[in-house]
Amino acid sequence: MSWALIRSSAFVRAARKHIRRHPEYASDLFEVFTQLAEDPFHPSLRSHKLTGTLVGSWACSAGYDLRVVFKIVKQAGKSAILLEALGTHDEVY
């Protein structure tokens, strides 16, 4: 099953900022998003539920200290992934 990826405006801003600062990681991020669309719970992503103010969301690893925060939502009757944030561990939590 392939999941649709929906980008929030906050995610788009954070991704542009990160790629502008670190263009060498653009291909790595593309691979993470491809894997996320194929299987958001693949062990290589280290996806985990979040608690506290981010309860209901999930996070996955996109590198040593880079995280993608996402939520499972319904779109047109199908499950989709809403990309909420991208940044370092301290930036997104």
| pLDDT tens, N- to C-terminus, the chain (93 residues) | 689 999 999 999 999 999 999 999 899 899 999 999 999 999 999 999 999 999 999 999 998 889 999 999 999 889 999 999 999 989 898
Distance CA 76, CA 4 (A): 11
Q: How far, CA to CA in Å, does 76 sit from each of 48, 59, 79?
A: 25, 24, 8
Please state, as a whole number, how many other Cβ atoms lie within 10 Å of the Cβ of residue 14.
20
Domains of the chain listed by start with CATH number: 4-92 (3.30.2310.20)
User: Residue 93 has what pLDDT?
Assistant: 84
pTM of the predicted model as reported, rounded to 2 decimal places = 0.92
